[in-house]
Every structure is written in structure tokens, then in C-alpha cells.
């Protein structure tokens, strides 16, 4: 029976990682699961009761349809879009539409993996993309502006996503904009699948900003495949300028041969004029007033792929994020014990352990009740009793001595004793010994959240931040699992 921990050398075995998303058509080994119907209660638990803390959509609770981050029982992160009550009154239409979008599978999409319809509830479930939106990285960056090579990669991957959807008979995309492009665990840009759903009763095919709306949509109120290309053109302008510039203003600059005034000043010296000219020309073609004069998705890919540079550089490098930071970047819904470990508040941990007592040792206590009581056992129990008194009085040196006598007696095993001695070691500035006890507690009780919490505290004390975060995540997930049962 091995303890599950992260990467440090004395672990006995590692926990298998969650399968990553993939594109079966590209020969990936671990394809996404088939589209399925979720129970409302399952999604309620995954999103912490649709907590406002879990909202990840840009406009928060004010949006008509809110997107939540969630965590399933299998530890897979998901995005859950919950529609307004008046949306999709026909559940059959909603299911048929969701299934059609759910049949798509591409590494260029944040794929739809399920839906839920119970009563008035209409929810979509998609892969969770942990590294924010294009709008965040392009318009609201903090550390560095988006590199030219990354902007070209966004344009290419987005064009490939549109080509894939078009080839699968889903050419219509509603309100394509910088908030609909998301970045996955590896920093690769992906197109949100939510925009592929047909218009619901209360939805809009385009945002209310008429300056960015395709002219034919203003005339007819209908989205066409050419309308999507127009929106792609507005996004190319976003990538060129680093701003959300109305197409009419941009086209005036281009016609006046002042296109360099469009370019993001942060990019100066980082791209060739030829590449800039070619991308401006492509945007101009996409923004033609007459829909029939715009290129199709396939020609977009052909035009951009010749400009694509630094193809061997991983996206996370170009985006300026740590590699594979998806799991640890997610905000955990920590318990009070988890919060105390994260803050390294040893006094708070002591209070929690003291209050909890030995409730998690009940199985062991019941087993002992059938054993023959011997003098040696009585001495061990007396040592534990004296250790508990010292622990309660915060006499941690005495607690360590008494608990060690109990452990060395070898007649009984208690994960709580290991946990209490672990904290006593931490209080005595002995983090290596503390980590050993946390691991021993998990050998005895491998699914015990407290063991993982104390392992995290010990690792934090040793400066092993990433491993500590892994243990904290494991503890949090086990707590959530217990609460579901």
C-alpha cells in the first residue's frame, strides 16, 4: 500500500495524471470521451453549488448565460455554461443541437463533452481552458505584450478551427470575438465550442456593438458563413493592433496607405513589413462589404500558414506562461484545514487536530477492542494518553516523546498519532521528521485528507512549493469526495 504524493524521490508510486484532450483525427492516443448527458446534481456538485466564486465568464453574474469552472469526480476540470431560464424552451431542440456540436472533436476547439436538461435547466459542458482568453492576453496583458509569432499562431489555429467546423457542416459561428478564443494547458489557442450552438430564444448572434457587426447581418438579422469570415477579419485587426478597432476606421487607414498606424507599437522591430502587409491584406479581404467577395476558411489557412514563424517553439513559451500550469493554477475551494496549511498557520492546524480528536481512527479502535489486552498495550495507551495531554497543552517536546513511545511499542497503529506527532515536529522546526510522519499516516490511511494536508504543510516548510500544492490539491479533492458521499 503506497502513499500517493507528487514528485519527490522517496514516494513509492505516483498518481496517474488526468488524460489530456486530443484530436482523434490527428492520431492522438487519448481521445476525449464521447458526448454524454450529465445530471444536474452532478454539475451542481462540480461547480460548488454554482458558486459565484466559480464563475469564469467575462461579465460574471450579470451575463444572461453564465460560465462556471467545475471539477468532476474523476478530477477532470470542465467549463459549464448555464443558460438563462427563458433560453431553449424546447428541450429536444437543445439536446439535438448540443449533440451535433458534441460530435465535433478537434485540438483547435475547446470541445463540447456533454449537456444537461432537467426542468427549466439548460447547461452545456466543455473542456476547461485554464489560461484565459485572447482578450486578456491581447488587450489586458500585465507582464508582456503578445509576441508577433503568437499572434500569427492564434490567427492560424483559429482559421484551422473554422475550416474544421466548415468541413463538418458547422460553418456558422455566433459572435466570433477575442473572448471566444481560449488558451489550453499548453498555451495553445482554441475556439470555444459554445459559439457553434444555434441561436437560442434570448441569445444574440452578435454583440450589441454595431461597429463590429457584419453588414449583411444588420440588413437581414441572419448569420451566414461569410459573416463568420467578416468577424475573423475584425479579429485579425485585433491581433495587428492590440486594440479593438472598428473595421470602418481600420479600413480608412488602410486605404490611405497608413496601415503602419494600425500596428501595435509594442511590436515595433519584431515583424517584417512584408508579413504585416500580407496580414493587413488578408483582413481587408475578410472585411469586404459584399459577402461573396470574402475568402472562405480554407483560403484563410493557406494565406496564414505561409506567414507562420517559429513553428518549433511551444505555445506556452510564446505566451510567456509556465509549462503545464493548468492543474496548479486552478483556484481550489480549500477547507479551513487547507487554508491553514497554505498559510502555514500551525496554531490553526493545532486547533483543528485537537478538536477532531480520533474520529478517523474509529475502525482501528473497533479492531483493537477484540484483542487481548496486555500490559504492553496498556503502556502504549498510557503513552498516547500522556502525549494527547501534552499536545493539548502545546508541550510539543513531551508530545513527541510520548507519541514516539506509543509508535515504537508496535502493538497498535494510529494515523492520528502520526498526524499529531507530525505537527509537533513542525512546531519544533523539524520538517523532515514531520514529512516522514505525514507519509506514515497515509500508509495507514491512504485516502485520509488530513494526511495529505499535513504532507502539504511539511513540504511548504521544506520549501517544496510545487509538491506541496499537489498534496493540497489531493487533500481538497478527497474532502470534496467525502462530502459527496
Catalytic residue among 96, 120, 175, 395: 175
DSSP category for residue 292: G
Q: Please name which of 119, 320, 100 lies closest in space to residue 197, comparing C-alpha atoms.
A: 100
- The span from the first CA to the last CA of the chain, in angstroms, equals 23
Q: C-alpha cell of 354?
A: 485537537
Q: DSSP states of 318-366 as a string? A: HHT--TT-HHHHSPP---HHHHHHHHT-HHHHHHHHHHHTTGGGHHHHH
> How many other CB atoms are there within 10 angstroms of residue 92's CB atom?
9
175 is catalytic: yes
Cβ neighbours for 129, distance < 8 A, ≥ 6 positions apart: 79, 110, 182, 183, 184, 190, 192
Buried b (16+ CB within 10 A) or exposed e, 126-149: bbbbbbebbbbbbeeeeeebbbbb
The secondary structure of 402-415, three-state, reads HHHHHHHHCCCCCH
504532507: which residue's cell? Answer: 455
What SS3 class is residue 80? Answer: strand
47 membership: H or E segment, kind and range: none
Q: Which residues are known catalytic residues?
A: 175
Amino acid at each position: 500500500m503506497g502513499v500517493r504524493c507528487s514528485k519527490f524521490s522517496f514516494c513509492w508510486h505516483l498518481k496517474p495524471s488526468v488524460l489530456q484532450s486530443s484530436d482523434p483525427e490527428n492520431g492522438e492516443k487519448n481521445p476525449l470521451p464521447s458526448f454524454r448527458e450529465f445530471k444536474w446534481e452532478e454539475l451542481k456538485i462540480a461547480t460548488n453549488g454554482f458558486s459565484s466564486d466559480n464563475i469564469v465568464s467575462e461579465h460574471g453574474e450579470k451575463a444572461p448565460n453564465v460560465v462556471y469552472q467545475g471539477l468532476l469526480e474523476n478530477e477532470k476540470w470542465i467549463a459549464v455554461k448555464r443558460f438563462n431560464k427563458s433560453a431553449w424552451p424546447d428541450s429536444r431542440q437543445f439536446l439535438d443541437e448540443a449533440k451535433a456540436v458534441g460530435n465535433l472533436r478537434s485540438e483547435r476547439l475547446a470541445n463540447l463533452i456533454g449537456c444537461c436538461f432537467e426542468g427549466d435547466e439548460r447547461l452545456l459542458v466543455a473542456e476547461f481552458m485554464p489560461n484565459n482568453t485572447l482578450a486578456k492576453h491581447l488587450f489586458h496583458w500585465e507582464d508582456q505584450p503578445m509576441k508577433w509569432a503568437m499572434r500569427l499562431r492564434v490567427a492560424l489555429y483559429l482559421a484551422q478551427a473554422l475550416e474544421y467546423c466548415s468541413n463538418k457542416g458547422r460553418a456558422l459561428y455566433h459572435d466570433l470575438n477575442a473572448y471566444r478564443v481560449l488558451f489550453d494547458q499548453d498555451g495553445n489557442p482554441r475556439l470555444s465550442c459554445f459559439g457553434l450552438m444555434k441561436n437560442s430564444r434570448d441569445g444574440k448572434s452578435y454583440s450589441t456593438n454595431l461597429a463590429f457587426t457584419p453588414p449583411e447581418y444588420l440588413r437581414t438579422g441572419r448569420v451566414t458563413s461569410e459573416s463568420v469570415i467578416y468577424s475573423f477579419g475584425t479579429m485579425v485587426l485585433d491581433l495587428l493592433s492590440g486594440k479593438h478597432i472598428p473595421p470602418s476606421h481600420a479600413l480608412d487607414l488602410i486605404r490611405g496607405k497608413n496601415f503602419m498606424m494600425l500596428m501595435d507599437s509594442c511590436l515595433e522591430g519584431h515583424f517584417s513589413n512584408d508579413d504585416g502587409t500580407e496580414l493587413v491584406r488578408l483582413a481587408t479581404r475578410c472585411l469586404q462589404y459584399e459577402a461573396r467577395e470574402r475568402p472562405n476558411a480554407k483560403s484563410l489557412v493557406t494565406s496564414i500558414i505561409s506567414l507562420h514563424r517559429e513553428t518549433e517553439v511551444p505555445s506556452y513559451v510564446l505566451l510567456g506562461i509556465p509549462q503545464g500550469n493548468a492543474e496548479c493554477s486552478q483556484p481550489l475551494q480549500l477547507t479551513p484545514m487547507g487554508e491553514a496549511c497554505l498559510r502555514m498557520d500551525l496554531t490553526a492546524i493545532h486547533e483543528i487536530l485537537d478538536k477532531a480528536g480520533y474520529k478517523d481512527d474509529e475502525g482501528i479502535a473497533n479492531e483493537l477492542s477484540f484483542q487481548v489486552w496486555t500490559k504492553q498495550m496498556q503502556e502504549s495507551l498510557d503513552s498516547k494518553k500522556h502525549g494527547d495531554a501534552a499536545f493539548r497543552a502545546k508541550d510539543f517536546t513531551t508530545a513527541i516523546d510520548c507519541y514516539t513511545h506509543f509508535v515504537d511499542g508496535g502493538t497498535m497503529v494510529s494515523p492520528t498519532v502520526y498526524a499529531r506527532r507530525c505537527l509537533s515536529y513542525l512546531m519544533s522546526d523539524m520538517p523532515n521528521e514531520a514529512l516522514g510522519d505525514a507519509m506514515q499516516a497515509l500508509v495507514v490511511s491512504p485516502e485520509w485528507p488530513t494526511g495529505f494536508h499535513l504532507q502539504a504543510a511539511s513540504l511548504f516548510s521544506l520549501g517544496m512549493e510545487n509538491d506541496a500544492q499537489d498534496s493540497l490539491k489531493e487533500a481538497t479533492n478527497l474532502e470534496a469526495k467525502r462530502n459527496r458521499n
